[in-house]
A and B are shown apart, each in its own frame.
Chain A
């Protein structure tokens, strides 16, 4: 499911999907056929394995269909209001994701690197605290190996701190 944002000379898109994505293809789309783009920053978040008695076998991502796309579009609009972006794509997967697979992609394009770097970091920081997705851990020794309730990953205060650096979107959380 995707929620395209009215373009003004560039690709601005958010997508929520179960399928894996190709980060190279997504970021190439932002500069293909144009000569005014000076910087493309691509961030890919991956499912990371961990060691221990009950190693992680997968993350299962639940999301709020409809709101997830709308919230990602609102974050993208906020980024566009802060930096002169020439294009941006956010892709977030849901469902079962095994270690090594990609979970989330943020790609930003701008004339200069400063805006592209800053907007990409801003989008990731706010995605983590505002986009309605929840991770549940699946572990080798059963699905109850995680420290939090029933395998659900607990929100990290470090993520709140990271998001707060940019000041809250609407103080709504």
Chain B
């Protein structure tokens, strides 16, 4: 699974992208965020406040309880500030 990070999440994790295979117990987007947060201090810092983390599955916005369901690309990022 390809995992992308943007803005300050990218800076805190330390990489823009990584390829990981989460265990079968990781079912939803929120599960994935929790699993990633447990990997190391950098990931823990990025996911410290779940309220300010948004996610997209295969380039579409999703809510935290959305099942990963074979998604190939998962992205995590802060609330958007374009425009």
Query: B-contacting residues of A (Cβ < 8 Å)?
Result: 45, 61-64, 66-67, 70-71, 92, 103-104, 124, 127-136, 149-150, 152-155, 159, 170-173
Closest to A67 in B: B59
Q: Count the B residues whose beta carbon is within 8 Å of the partner chain — how many?
A: 21
Please judge, given known A-B contacts A129-B80, A132-B82, A134-B82, whether A64 and B56 are in contact too, CB under 8 Å.
yes
* Complex-state Cα separation, A83 to B67, whole angstroms: 34
Are A134 and B83 in contact, CB atoms less than 8 angstroms apart?
Answer: no
Contacting residue for B7 out of A67, A71, A127, A134, CB 8 A: A134
CB of A169, distance to nearest CB on chain B (Å)? 8
B83 touches A170 (CB 8 A): no
Which of B20-28, B32-40, B71-79 is the interface stretch? Answer: B71-79
Task: Please name all residues of chain B whose beta carbon is closer than 8 Å to the beta carbon of A70 when the two chains form the complex.
Answer: 59-60
Contact A155 B77, beta carbon cutoff 8 Å: no
- Verify A133–B60 contact, CB threshold 8 A: no
A61 and B81 alpha carbons, distance in the complex (Å):
9
Residues of chain B lying within 8 A (CB to CB) of residue A154: 79, 81
Q: Compute how far the CA of A66 lies from the CA of B81 in the bound complex, rounded to whole angstroms.
A: 17
Query: B75 to A67, Cβ gap below 8 A?
Result: yes
B82 touching A135, Cβ below 8 Å: yes
A127 touches B60 (CB 8 A): no
CA distance A34 to B11 in the complex (A): 49
Residues of A within 8 A of B56 (CB): 64, 67, 132
Tell me the minimal C-beta distance from A154 to chain B in angstroms.
7
Q: Tell me the complex Cα distance, A170–B57, Å.
A: 14
